[in-house]
Amino acid sequence: MKKGLFITFEGGDGSGKSTQIRLLKQNLEKTDREVLLTREPGGTEISEKIREIILDRNNTEMDNMTEALLYAAARAQLVSQVIRPALEAGKIVICDRFVDSSIAYQSYGRNLGDSISIINSFAVGDCMPDITILLKLSPEEANRRISGREQDRIELASDDFHHKVYEGYLELERKYPNRIVGIEATGTIESIAENIMGRVKELLGTVE
Ligand SMILES: Nc1ncnc2c1ncn2[C@@H]1O[C@H](COP(=O)(O)OP(=O)(O)OP(=O)(O)O)[C@@H](O)[C@H]1O
Ligand SMILES: [Mg+2]
């Protein structure tokens, strides 16, 4: 039976996930809980190999369903090899992106509909997050933040695609209000971190 706490971070490219995950880990470690950090796609040797295929800018011919299945395959390996054992051992697991990314990017961004939820229910089973922090930042603002760095195949997709992804996330927030906590990502790094820690503490109070 699951004893730990499973936290995922979601939001478009450049919305501040990595920044906030680093701070949340630091804040949680002050409470003496063991925290395991992982990322998607990746987090295991097999999943990192799959990540390279997905993000390779030369793979321009990749079919949308191939992409969706590769994400789910990488996720299945991560869940069985890393996330589930850590939760069973009572750890707090923080994952940079999870199933909601597939729904936002593939169902909404690539118009693949309900097939994505079905594929992912096979990939993760009942291993769903206890809380999902959704960092909400318009694609334009996010683009300004990351314009200086080299972009991968997904980041290079059209503005229209990134808008559909953003709308997808907002739809998911409406659909799963008990799990997904939407946070405006336009605030300062410190104020957002405080907000997130407050939400997570509430949850730790209820599960411990
Ligand atoms: N609240 C904030 N205000 C202003 N800039 C921010 C804020 N949070 C993060 N940034 C900056 O925005 C950039 C993107 O942040 P970060 O890498 O954390 O985003 P990300 O969501 O992890 O992106 P990706 O999806 O590409 O991994 C970084 O340069 C970071 O320093
Ligand atoms: Mg990041």
155 alpha carbon to ligand 2 midpoint, in Å?
Answer: 12
pLDDT of residue 158: 82
Taking the CA atoms of residue 133, residue 138, residue 142 and residue 144 in that order, the dihedral angle to the nearest 10 degrees is -160
For the chain, domain boundaries: 5-207
C-beta 42 within 6 A of ligand 1: no
- Whether residue 17 contacts residue 9, with contact meaning beta carbons closer than 8 Å, is answered with yes
Q: In the block, which residue shows the tokens 């991968």?
A: 152
User: HSE (CB half, 13 Å, CA atoms) of 42?
Assistant: 13
Q: Measured between alpha carbons, how far is 24 from 29 in angstroms, rounded to an integer?
A: 8
Residue of minimum CA distance from atom 15 in ligand 1: 16
For residue 192 and ligand 1, the question of a CB distance below 6 A is answered with yes
In our burial notation (b when 16+ CB lie closer than 10 A, e otherwise), range 136-160 reads bbebeebbeeeeeeeeeebbebeee
For the stretch 94-124, pLDDT in tens is 999 999 999 999 999 999 999 999 999 999 9
Q: Please give the pLDDT value at position 191.
A: 98
pLDDT the model gives residue 155: 75
Q: Which two tokens stand for residue 56?
A: 């390779």
Its pTM stands at 0.94
Q: What is the pLDDT of residue 88?
A: 96
Confidence of residue 206 (pLDDT cuts 50, 70, 90): low
Look at residue 50 in the predicted model and tell me its pLDDT.
97
Q: Does domain 5-207 have CATH number 3.40.50.300?
A: yes
- pLDDT tops 60 at residue 43: yes
